[in-house]
Amino acid sequence: MFEIIKSDQPAGLELAYRADRISTDGQAWEFSFLKWKLLLSLCSRGILVADGGRQTCGFCALYFFGHEDECEDCPIKKTRHPGCQGTPFRDYLIAVEKGYLALAKQAAAAEVEFLRSFQMGLDFSYMLYFERDQLWDALQGVLGIAWPHEPPALIHFPDRVLSIPLHTWGSQEKDFQHNEPEFHFATVLNFAEDAAILEYLSARNDNIHSGPPDPDKKQGVGMIYLTVTQEIPDQPGSDLVLFNFGTTGTNMSILFQESESIRKTFVDLLKKIPGVCGVFNRESSGQVFWLNGQQLAEEISDPYRPPAEIEATLGTSR
């Protein structure tokens, strides 16, 4: 998406954009957030890079047409920062011009937090596909990482009844048939500590210890909304079932994006069953992180593309 090029800027290096056109606020926010995370990482490694200006701003790609006064609908202007005046971005410009690495790092970190403060209504999710006859095993796999809820829901299979100690939502019923089109649950899932999880929980004023994360310690994150879909829209006759793990909104969506522990947990679940495909859904784009037994990181423009189409495009097979 980004590359660093030589420049006549004081730093001698500048960020450049190499990616598809931005068309939504969600894409603009994600793009800008990743940009400033990258600049912060570079500063932390002692590398000072000019930010690239409007050509590398997701919001400018949507709302800037030659003059700052024209950015009427830009979410940043709506926060009373026309032309990004008064934002950490301006501090970063000064730091690069004067060659102050420490100030640039501080400004980049502040800009990341500034973007985090936006309530853009992000609704990211993890989409895990399993074979239809793996429904029982996949549900059992989820129970292995979930907080138990009482009373449990009951799913009736032809030869057995599966007790699901998860909270149901969207229905007062607790008894379901195994072939129903969808099941809706809400749960807290356990993930090994990492920096992103501790930061998220600390911001919610949870009783979180200080210090570095302990990868041997689990923390509960929720509520996470799990929709199990057996009749997948636009995929009639599919032999797959979709487990979609959704968030409560922007802050948890950002956590889903940043936490390596959460990604690893879903990868481990796909390995264990095993699953067919895993997609991180960023609403207007996605990343395939698992396909037919292989862990990968491939960007796709449509997160709802059927696994068969993804497989055809990426060139892997079952």
The model's confidence at residue 38, banded by pLDDT at 50, 70 and 90, is confident
Q: What would the pLDDT profile of 262-301 be if each residue is shown by its tens digit?
A: 999 999 999 999 999 999 998 878 999 999 999 999 999 8
Q: What would the pLDDT profile of 156-185 be if each residue is shown by its tens digit?
A: 989 999 898 988 875 556 788 888 888 889
Q: Which residue carries 């299979």 as its tokens?
A: 157
- pLDDT value of residue 85: 84
C-alpha span between 19 and 21 (Å, rounded): 7
User: Which of these, 125, 145, 126, lies nearest to 218 by C-alpha position?
Assistant: 145
Across 113-201, the runs of DSSP E, i.e. the strands, are 125-131, 153-157, 160-164, 167-168, 175-177, 182-192
User: Which of these, 179, 127, 155, lies nearest to 290 by C-alpha position?
Assistant: 127
Least confident piece of the model among 192-201, 230-239, 263-272: 230-239
The rounded mean pLDDT for the chain is 86
- Max mean pLDDT range (4-8, 150-154, 265-269): 265-269
For residues 43-58, average pLDDT:
88
Res 18 pLDDT > 70:
no
pTM, entire model: 0.70
Q: Where are the alpha helices (DSSP H) in the chain?
A: 25-44, 58-63, 75-78, 88-98, 101-116, 135-143, 195-203, 250-258, 260-272, 307-314
CA 206 distance to own-chain centroid: 22
Reported residue count of the chain is 318
Least confident piece of the model among 84-88, 208-212, 226-230: 208-212
Task: Render 210-229 in DSSP notation, one character per residue.
Answer: -SS--TTSEEEEEEEEEEEE
Res 109 pLDDT > 80:
yes
Least confident piece of the model among 19-28, 84-93, 179-188: 19-28
Res 106 pLDDT > 70:
yes
Q: Which residue carries 């660093």 as its tokens?
A: 4
Phi, psi of 76 (to 5 degrees): -70, -40
- pLDDT value of residue 130: 97
